[in-house]
Structure formats: structure tokens, C-alpha cells
Amino acid sequence: AQSVTQLDSHVSVSEGTPVLLRCNYSSSYSPSLFWYVQHPNKGLQLLLKYTSAATLVKGINGFEAEFKKSETSFHLTKPSAHMSDAAEYFCVVSHGASGTYKYIFGTGTRLKVLA
């Protein structure tokens, strides 16, 4: 069975400092992994995806994530936080048997950026 654990429900960083949002997954098969960002009362926007290619994945807005199979982790990082990064972030794992596709979401991490 698939599952996703986002280890921090809230993270606060100062503007200009690095961001680390942690995600661990469980999957019986080779997973596809994603990070999404959600601003208040908005839909979710894809930041980046891992689908068994390069383990270091670069996304939009300067974010990147590294797939570590041995640690079953897919942590999201950014070298320097910007005020506009304040939002909720979701880690997602996907695996589907033939013809069906289920996506399992973590509970989210709310990122606060301090001026």
C-alpha cells in the first residue's frame, strides 16, 4: 500500500534562508512522486515530479527535490526563500495497476516566510 508522510505540519524560515520540507513515502512499487504548492483558496500547482529518471529533480520557482530510495524520502528544498513562497506544500505518491491511477497526498506543510 502507498502512503506519504510529511514530517512537519508547519515550517518557518526567514526570507533569504534555505527551505527544507520533508517527505517520506511508502510504496510497494516504483513510485512517481510529486510536490505541489497551494496558495489560499486556490487549486494546486505542480512544482516538480520524479518519474524514475534523474534522482535530483528541478522544478519551478527555484525548488528542487532529491529522490533517495534507500531512505524512502523525497525532500523539497530551495536555497533562498522568498516571501511569495509562503503557502501550503503537498508531497504526493502515485502508483497504479494497469488502467487505474491513484494519487496519495501527504497532510501538507505550511511554509511561513518571515521578513
Residues forming contacts to other proteins in the complex (CB under 8 A) are 32, 34, 36, 41-46, 49, 51-52, 90, 92, 94-96, 99-108
Q: How far is the CB of 102 from other proteins (least distance, A)?
A: 7
Nearer Cβ to other proteins, position 36 or 75?
36
Q: How far is the CB of 42 from other proteins (least distance, A)?
A: 6
71 alpha-carbon distance from chain centroid:
15
Q: How far is the CB of 23 from other proteins (least distance, A)?
A: 12
Nearer Cβ to other proteins, position 79 or 96?
96
41: left (phi over 0), alpha (psi -120 to 50) or beta: left
Enter the C-alpha cell of residue 65.
527535490
| 31-54 residues labelled b (16+ CB within 10 A) or e (exposed) | bbbbbbbeeeeeebeebbbbeeee
Nearer Cβ to other proteins, position 46 or 54?
46
Q: What are phi and psi of 39, to 5 degrees?
A: -90, 160
Nearer Cβ to other proteins, position 17 or 61?
61
- DSSP letter for 32, please: E
Q: How far is the CB of 17 from other proteins (least distance, A)?
A: 25
